[in-house]
């Protein structure tokens, strides 16, 4: 065996070559759908042409300007934000479940959501949110990072993080921060409460290019970083000592991964609110399809999260008498589906 | 697995063989190793060296610190003291560097996640892979080479969580080998493991050591350790209490000290190795003295049965070199011995009669009779109570032309005659 050409490689790579392009195709179709449907229906072909012309790939002066405005200024940035946020939440959920070997780990549990919530409330009540669209995301991100850092420090024992302590202190700190947030809200005026609740429900309404620009770079880069830690995540899944024996520094990897996932999630929910269940169920569904290997699970979760959130957002916009928050849709769909999975695979270890 | 013996020896292309043979003497140096958890000392003042090609078994009762010691050497537990592997200090090494020098097969081999066998074995290559690189052809080749070695190549595409315990252990052993280290640590799976696979890792390890690797194994089964290891380290309460060749370590005193059992240690005549016997509970010690007459191996089973039954035993007369003497040695039984190939001398004969008279009863085993030992039959006539074990026709065991048979039949008139399998029925 001289050359590597005829050596069969791991089946994961073969799976990747089938699953990932298929998911990209589904995602593209969904983006076009998201752009086409709405109060004003724009035919699919027309939608594609408008997107292409805005990308400078098509020069067609006959395209109606009002349709162009709807698609380019309203629907496309909204769909792209959905992709980015969904991808961020789901890939980070997959990573967190792997690194803590805990099927219930998700961004919400580790205090990211509650921290971001307190940051958002602060930005709103202190009036910063009204001044610039960047203020609420900024405050939310800072809040999220502060909460994660606090939880992390609380669960640190002799330089090591205990998974159980992390999750327990995560719940405690989240609850505490949630109470503080409620307290602040009680002393806020009606408008402030409304804008907080609107953010906290998770909504993609009003997403603009500035939002896309705000999170695109961090989300894409951090998901790529996660993908390069896939092998480490696999080892962590196989067990701490097992991982260390083959050359991984488990606690250092966890610290790094915790930082990366917190930043990613903070970036995503800072603009569209803590959208529930995406980080929890999307990785679980994909694990059933791809298996537990993070080399495929992380990119597949990123794409799956994007598909799921974009799809949910299409549903959220369907009602004629005004749209529903996408967070409501994800939870309405996600919770029953999650329970279905749970019941179907009640035997221990099968789900995760 | 016998078929693996013929397979290609594993190449040893790691840093040490490249460095030359000067460092071969001491692959691993452990000095004053101490390890505590929450101020409770688990390991204390551990000192030992391991040379290339040694197969060291770490033995000792549960809780002696065997697994902990292995984990300290693997860098999983941070101990104080000095651990040098291939001349380099373990302290200050990254996990990745350690993984290039030491591989470990952990005790708990359960993997609940459905990874393929190939992917599991490839994790052994982690320390060689760059973060942004996929596995190279060389990694696949190595993985498959060690899978072939442990007879798991056919399982390549199977999911690890669907394998049997023995298969899984072989896969994880291939993974450890794929790290291509000179030192391999083996934490033997507990006895709950499939009995058919209990020894497989030991057979592989023994062969690896012959090919120049060094294996340190925590072993629970002493007999397995004696059988396979070239050297044993006996631990008790986190300390080494004996270290050396198996026959130096497995001694009556050491086993008493470490395990609190009163074992009978002897050299196994068949394997040539040190062996031991832990007698059944003789707490029901009887106040009975038995004299056993036998020879040619006929007395061994009887003596063991009596010993475990709590009887006091004397035996004789045996000729020098008789296989029954091995047995009386082991059990520490006062035994009369005479010169081989000659008649029992009068002095020994008289002593034998004294012993028979002193005994509460005498057992005449299912033994061959010749000119040399015919006096044993004469002595037996002095027994107060005589039990004769008769499994085969005495005619076939008489090599004196009928003389012994006459004596034997005379004895029978005054004795209880029984098959050996039913001996317990007539023992008082």
The rounded mean pLDDT for chain B is 84
Strand partners, B185: B104, B216
Q: B106: which chain A residues are within 8 Å (Cβ-Cβ)?
A: 239, 241-242, 245
Shortest distance between the Cα of A263 and any Cα of chain B, in A, equals 21
In the predicted structure, residue A248 carries a pLDDT above the cut 60: yes
pTM value is 0.77
In the predicted structure, residue A5 carries a pLDDT above the cut 70: no
In the predicted structure, residue B282 carries a pLDDT above the cut 60: no
CB contact under 8 A, B99 and A246: yes
Residues in chain B whose beta carbon is closer than 8 A to a beta carbon of chain A?
71, 74-76, 94-100, 102-104, 106, 108, 111-116, 118-120, 122-124, 126-127, 129, 131-132, 134-138, 140-141, 157, 161, 175-176, 179
Percent of chain B whose pLDDT exceeds 70: 90
- Give the pair of three-digit tokens for residue B81: 């003291």
CB contact under 8 A, B135 and A291: no
Enter the DSSP assignment of B334: -
Q: Average pLDDT of B31-43? A: 90
Instruction: Write down the pLDDT at residue B22.
Output: 43
> Would you tell me which CATH number, out of the four given (3.40.50.2000, 3.40.50.10800, 3.90.79.10, 3.40.50.720), belongs to the domain B289-426?
3.40.50.2000
The Cα–Cα gap between B95 and B179 comes to 13
For chain B, domain boundaries: 2-259, 289-426
> Would you tell me which CATH number, out of the four given (3.30.70.980, 3.40.50.300, 3.30.70.3270, 3.40.50.2300), belongs to the domain B2-259?
3.40.50.300
Q: Average pLDDT of B234-250? A: 92
The burial of A162, by beta-carbon neighbours within 10 Å (0-12 exposed, 13-18 middle, 19 or more buried), is given as middle
Q: Pick the more confident residue, B12 or B422.
A: B422
CB contact under 8 A, B118 and A10: yes
Instruction: Write down the pLDDT at residue B23.
Output: 42
Instruction: Write down the pLDDT at residue B56.
Output: 95
Strands B28-37 and B40-50: antiparallel
| Residue A207 pLDDT class (50, 70, 90 cuts) | confident
Q: A292: which chain B residues are within 8 Å (Cβ-Cβ)?
A: 113-115
How far CA B109 is from CA of A109, A162, B62, B112, B193, in Å, comes to 30, 22, 19, 10, 10
The Cα–Cα gap between B298 and A249 comes to 62
Percent of chain A whose pLDDT exceeds 90: 34
ipTM of the complex: 0.85
Sign of torsion over alpha carbons B31, B37, B39, B40: negative
Contact residues for B258 (Cβ-Cβ < 8 A; gap 6+) = B59, B60, B61, B64, B234, B235, B236, B241, B242
Instruction: Write down the pLDDT at residue B427.
Output: 81
The Cα–Cα gap between B342 and B323 comes to 17
> Would you tell me which CATH number, out of the four given (1.10.3470.10, 3.40.390.10, 3.40.50.300, 1.20.1070.10), belongs to the domain A86-267+276-344?
1.10.3470.10
Shortest distance between the Cα of B312 and any Cα of chain A, in A, equals 53
Q: Average pLDDT of B154-175? A: 89
pLDDT tens across A12-57, in order? 888 999 999 999 999 999 999 999 998 888 999 999 999 998 888 8
The rounded mean pLDDT for chain A is 86
The Cα–Cα gap between B88 and B101 comes to 10
């Amino acid at each position: 065996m001289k050359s590597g050409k005829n050596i069969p490689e791991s089946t994961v790579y073969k799976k990747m070559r089938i699953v990932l392009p298929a998911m990209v195709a589904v995602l593209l179709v969904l983006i076009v759908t998201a752009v086409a449907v709405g109060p004003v229906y724009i035919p699919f072909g027309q939608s594609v042409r408008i997107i292409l012309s805005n990308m400078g790939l098509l020069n067609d002066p006959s395209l109606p300007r009002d349709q162009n405005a709807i698609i380019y200024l309203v629907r496309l940035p909204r769909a792209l934000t959905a992709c980015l946020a969904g991808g961020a939440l789901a890939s980070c959920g997959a990573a967190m479940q792997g690194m803590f070997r805990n099927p219930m780990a998700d961004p919400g549990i580790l205090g990211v959501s509650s921290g971001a919530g307190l940051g958002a409330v602060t930005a709103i009540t202190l009036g910063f949110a009204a001044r610039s669209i960047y203020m609420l995301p900024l405050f939310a991100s800072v809040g999220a990072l502060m909460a994660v850092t606090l939880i992390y420090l609380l669960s640190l024992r002799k330089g090591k993080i205990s998974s159980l302590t992390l999750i327990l202190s995560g719940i405690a700190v989240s609850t505490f921060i949630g109470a503080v947030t409620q307290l602040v809200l009680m002393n806020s005026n009606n408008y402030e409460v409304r804008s907080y609740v609107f953010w906290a429900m998770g909504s993609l309404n009003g997403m603009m290019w500035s939002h896309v620009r705000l999170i695109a770079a961090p989300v894409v880069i951090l998901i790529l970083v996660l993908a390069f830690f896939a092998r480490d995540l696999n080892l962590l899944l196989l067990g701490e000592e097992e991982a260390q024996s083959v050359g991984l520094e488990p606690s250092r990897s966890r610290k790094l991964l915790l930082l990366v996932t917190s930043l990613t999630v903070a970036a995503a929910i800072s603009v569209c609110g803590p959208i529930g269940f995406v980080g929890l169920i999307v990785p679980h569904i994909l694990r059933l399809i791809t298996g537990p290997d993070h080399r495929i699970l992380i990119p597949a979760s990123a794409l799956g999260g994007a598909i799921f959130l974009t799809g949910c957002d299409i549903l959220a916009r369907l009602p004629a008498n005004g749209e529903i928050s996408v967070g409501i849709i994800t939870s309405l769909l996600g919770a029953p589906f999650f329970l279905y999975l749970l019941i179907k695979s009640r035997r221990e270890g099968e789900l995760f | 697995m016998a078929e693996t013996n013929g397979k290609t020896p594993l190449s040893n292309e790691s840093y040490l063989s490249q460095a030359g043979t000067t460092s071969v003497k001491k692959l691993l140096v452990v000095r004053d190793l101490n390890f505590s958890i929450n101020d409770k000392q688990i390991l204390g003042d551990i000192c030992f060296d391991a040379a290339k090609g040694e197969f060291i078994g770490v033995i000792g009762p549960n809780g002696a610190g065997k697994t902990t010691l292995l984990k300290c050497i693997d860098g999983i537990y941070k101990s104080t003291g000095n651990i040098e592997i291939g001349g380099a200090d373990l302290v200050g090494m990254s996990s990745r560097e350690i993984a290039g020098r030491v591989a470990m097969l952990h005790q708990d081999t359960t993997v609940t996640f459905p990874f393929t066998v190939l992917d599991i074995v490839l994790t052994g290559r982690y320390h060689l892979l760059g973060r942004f690189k996929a596995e190279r052809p060389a990694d696949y080749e190595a993985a498959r080479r060690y899978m072939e070695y442990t007879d798991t190549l056919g399982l390549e595409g199977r999911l690890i969580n669907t394998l049997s315990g023995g298969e899984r252990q072989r896969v994880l052993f291939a993974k450890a080998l794929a790290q291509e280290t000179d030192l391999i640590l083996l934490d033997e799976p507990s006895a709950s493991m499939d009995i058919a696979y209990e020894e497989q890792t030991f057979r592989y390890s023994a062969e690896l050591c012959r090919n120049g690797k060094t294996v340190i194994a925590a072993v629970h089964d002493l007999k397995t350790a004696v059988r396979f290891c070239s050297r044993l380290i006996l631990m008790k309460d986190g300390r080494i209490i004996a270290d050396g060749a198996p026959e130096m370590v497995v001694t009556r005193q050491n086993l008493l000290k470490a395990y609190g059992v009163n074992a009978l240690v002897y050299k196994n005549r068949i394997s040539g190795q040190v062996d031991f016997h832990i007698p059944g509970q003789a707490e029901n010690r009887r106040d009975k003295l038995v004299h056993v007459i036998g020879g040619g191996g006929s007395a061994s089973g009887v003596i063991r049965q009596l010993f475990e039954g709590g009887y006091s035993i004397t035996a004789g007369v045996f000729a020098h070199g008789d296989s029954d003497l091995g047995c009386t040695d082991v059990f520490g039984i006062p035994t009369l011995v005479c010169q081989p190939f000659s008649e029992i001398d009068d002095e020994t004969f008289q002593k034998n009669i004294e012993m028979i008279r002193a005994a509460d009863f005498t057992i005449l085993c299912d033994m061959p009779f010749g000119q040399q030992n015919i006096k044993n039959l004469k002595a037996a006539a002095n027994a107060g109570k005589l039990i004769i074990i008769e499994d085969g026709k005495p005619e076939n065991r008489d090599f004196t032309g009928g003389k012994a048979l006459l004596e034997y039949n005379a004895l029978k008139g005054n004795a209880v005659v029984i098959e050996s399998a039913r001996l317990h029925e007539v023992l008082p």
